[in-house]
Amino acid sequence: MGGLWDTIWNAVQDESTRTIIGWLGGGVVVVIGGAWTLLTYVRNNARRTPPATVPNITASGGSVAVVGTVNAPITITTPPEQFAPLIKSATEPWERLSAQQQATIRELEHKLGVSEGALKAFLHILGEREVPAEKWSEKLAEIAESYKVALSQAKAASGDVPAIAGLKEQARAALDRGDLEQADQHLAELVAVENAAIDARQVEAAATMAQRGQIALTRLRYPEAAAHFAAAAARVPPAHADRLNYLDWEAQALYRQGEEKGDNAALAAAIARLHELVRLRPRQLVPLDWATTQNNLGIALFRLGERDGGTERLEEAVEAYRAALEETPRARVPLQWAMTQNNLGLALAKLGERDSGTERLELAVRAFRAALEEFTRARVPLQWAMTQNNLGTALRALGERESGHERLEEAVQAYRQALLEYTCARVPLQWAMTQDNLGSALACLGERESGTERLEDAVQAFRASLEERTRERVPLDWAMTHNNLGLALTKTGERESGTERLEEAVQAYRQALLEYTRERVPLQWAGTQNNLGIALFRLGERESGSGRLEEAVKACRAALAERTRVRVPLDWAATQNNLGNALLRLGERESGTRRLEEAITAYRAALEEFTRAHVPLQWAGIQNNLGNALQVLGERNRNAAMLREAREAIQGAFDVYMQAGQEHRRAYFERRLADIDQALAALGESKL
């Protein structure tokens, strides 16, 4: 079978078919997610039955996967505004439509190769299932593919008895006129007839159940499809050739339900089924099929691991991808190898975000660079852009933890490369995602520079992203970009004398929290609460009252309810530092010492995770904050030992900043050290 599959794969890479890359169990998979994008090639030894349509998954951070049949790729270019009246009139006489709308209908009938009745049913499904406007073209193509599979199978066989042949023809006639409900009813009747002769016809009954699964996929009813495929697999003997195909399709339907509907239980069920398929496809007997299933398992594990706060699922995804690479060498299947390298990079990068060290992020960068050796711009431009974007995100994560600018500059360059192919006209949501990522890298650079030019560029990039990332279209991505916009506005506002930018930042965070709820996305909610606390703290510094500072403390404490040390240690430490800042300012304005003592406790907690060896610049910033709190408390209590501890903390921060070449901080630290020396002298003590 290798030669045939290689021929199909080469055909898929042709420019005319490059728009769709799919098959999770019988072909190729594209997975795009958050700030990341999974892309994977999959094959299967389907024998008698054509492969099923598999889901297109997209999510941005963001974000997720596209899986689809590639028998005859369909590209729908009809804009959403032309679809809207067609969907609205799907249950009315089409004669009421304009001549232009009727021409659009004829064009779609011709492109999809279906009857008017079938097209009408498809449009009705889009409206009934409340498919978002930006997915109408994609879902219409997906529905048509599943429909064609069902139609091709709805015909009488030469050995069918008249009753069975009649029901099959009735089902086919109903499908041909687009009456999916009637077709499904006929097939249900057909299953009942076949059950009467189960001993002789169990295999055919299973095929019919699978056909019902295809109709359910056509109607975007994924749990129903999974149930049909599972029933089909249970009907055939364990050694039957089609059993693994049915189990594959069941896993595909469960994955779609889990990814598209946020159903983690469905994802867990898909993972369980894929684990079984790995066992049923021995590596020694079918190495490529085994590798394909390992890759699919990695995709499902990654998606579920991305949603929970732990690392176990992500670790398993890495293991699955590495296993797949053992049987898909670059020399034999270069593009499949590159796709799996990209997937491996995504899992490693997500793990790296949750580690205190940088080893996983370095491995992720290596995996993305390896993928780009085969994913060239000339060969596969969109995959090249996708991997450039992913590389940029891994480099940005590394740059955030290093004192230099090199990695961040590389990240900016990678994002700008991606935007050469990820254009707004061509792929608006991917363009918006990359704009958001570019803004984040520019904001990191701007934070380390004395001017505001990079920060202004970041604000511009985020606002550009929001032109496509609307709340109605992609609510969670809209929330994420508002959060990122708030970060850039906060940093800009910190360097300006007024409060306009800081007020805008608070508003941006509050917008994000409309969709980033604790129940829905607890870690994102906590991150936005943390960022809101920072902006409120900065505003509180410039006001005489304590209202904003109290709000800042409240926001940081709320964030810590989800940002636990066990779950996300670095985020926990960052929020402890921010909480310390708000408590310190409150303590400076109060006569007591409780707030100052709480601030010192918070800073010391943060330093348990932000070590000088791993994140020197963050360590230096917190050391400086700790020194400030110790100095205020030491002066208030006339405690020389505490003042010396404050001096030691500030001197350590000074040393790191100078080693990083941040000369603009020199005057500040020299003044701070002189202040402490003066306070010690007033107590009759020296700095030693």
pLDDT digits (tens, 9 = 90+) for 502-547: 999 999 999 999 999 998 889 999 999 999 999 999 999 999 899 9
Contacts of 404 (CB under 8 A, 6+ apart): 660
Whether residue 205 contacts residue 242, with contact meaning beta carbons closer than 8 Å, is answered with no
pLDDT of residue 197: 63
Do 117 and 165 lie in one domain? The reply is no
Residue 171's domain is classified under what CATH number? 1.25.40
CA distance 400 to 615: 8
In the 3-class helix/strand/coil scheme, how is 576-624 assigned residue by residue? HHHHHHHHHHHHHHCCCCHHHHHHHHHHHHHHCCCCCCCCHHHHHHHHH
Do 79 and 66 lie in one domain? The reply is no
Token pair of 627 as six digits? 């020194």
Task: Answer whether residue 605 is part of any domain.
Answer: no
Do 37 and 78 lie in one domain? The reply is no
Domain end residue (candidates: 153, 180, 197):
153
Task: Answer whether residue 478 is part of any domain.
Answer: no
How many residues are recorded in the chain?
Answer: 688
Whether residue 477 contacts residue 437, with contact meaning beta carbons closer than 8 Å, is answered with no
Token pair of 581 as six digits? 């800042």
The owner of tokens 């409900």 is: 181
Quickly state the pLDDT bin for 198 (edges 50, 70, 90).
low
The owner of tokens 């099923």 is: 52
Question: Which domain covers residue 676, as residue numbers?
Answer: 610-688
Question: How many beta carbons lie within 10 A of that of residue 255, not counting itself?
Answer: 34
Quickly state the pLDDT bin for 91 (edges 50, 70, 90).
low
Strand stretches in 627-671, DSSP E = none
Span between the terminal Cα atoms of the chain, in Å? 79
Do 92 and 135 lie in one domain? The reply is yes
Do 89 and 47 lie in one domain? The reply is no
Domain end residue (candidates: 133, 153, 173):
153
pLDDT of residue 69: 30
Contacts of 208 (CB under 8 A, 6+ apart): 187, 190, 191, 194
pLDDT of residue 90: 67
Lowest mean pLDDT among 44-58, 273-287, 404-418: 44-58
Task: Answer whether residue 534 is part of any domain.
Answer: no
The owner of tokens 């240690």 is: 569
Total domains present in the chain: 4
Domain end residue (candidates: 226, 249, 272):
249
The mean pLDDT of 457-475, rounded to a whole number, is 95
Task: Answer whether residue 29 is part of any domain.
Answer: yes
Do 166 and 245 lie in one domain? The reply is yes
Q: Judge whether residue 622 has pLDDT over 90.
A: yes
Lowest mean pLDDT among 3-12, 60-69, 116-125, 314-323: 60-69
Do 621 and 668 lie in one domain? The reply is yes
Do 617 and 685 lie in one domain? The reply is yes
608 φ/ψ angles, rounded to the nearest 5 degrees: -70, -25
pLDDT of residue 304: 92
- For residue 111, the one-letter residue type is K
Among 227, 82, 74, CA closest to 144: 74
Do 124 and 64 lie in one domain? The reply is no
Do 20 and 62 lie in one domain? The reply is yes
Q: Judge whether residue 44 has pLDDT over 50.
A: no
Q: Judge whether residue 564 has pLDDT over 60.
A: yes
Task: Answer whether residue 584 is part of any domain.
Answer: no
Burial 628-643 (b: 16+ CB within 10 A, else e): bbbbbbbbeeeebebb
pLDDT digits (tens, 9 = 90+) for 395-417: 999 999 887 899 999 999 999 99
Do 147 and 65 lie in one domain? The reply is no
Among 27, 55, 67, 66, CA closest to 43: 27
pLDDT digits (tens, 9 = 90+) for 353-381: 888 789 999 999 999 999 999 999 999 99
Task: Answer whether residue 430 is part of any domain.
Answer: no
How far is residue 163 from each of residues 142, 156, 193, 201, measured CA to CA in Å?
A: 32, 10, 8, 14
Task: Answer whether residue 522 is part of any domain.
Answer: no
Q: Judge whether residue 45 has pLDDT over 80.
A: no
pLDDT of residue 576: 98
pLDDT digits (tens, 9 = 90+) for 52-76: 333 332 233 333 222 333 344 456 6
| pTM of the predicted model as reported, rounded to 2 decimal places | 0.64
3-state secondary structure of 498: coil
The mean pLDDT of 604-627, rounded to a whole number, is 94
Lowest mean pLDDT among 100-104, 409-413, 485-489, 678-682: 100-104
Task: Answer whether residue 380 is part of any domain.
Answer: no
Whether residue 280 contacts residue 242, with contact meaning beta carbons closer than 8 Å, is answered with no
Q: Judge whether residue 585 has pLDDT over 60.
A: yes
Alpha helices, DSSP H, located in 608-665: 616-637, 640-659
Do 163 and 238 lie in one domain? The reply is yes
The mean pLDDT of 144-163, rounded to a whole number, is 83
The owner of tokens 């970041």 is: 458
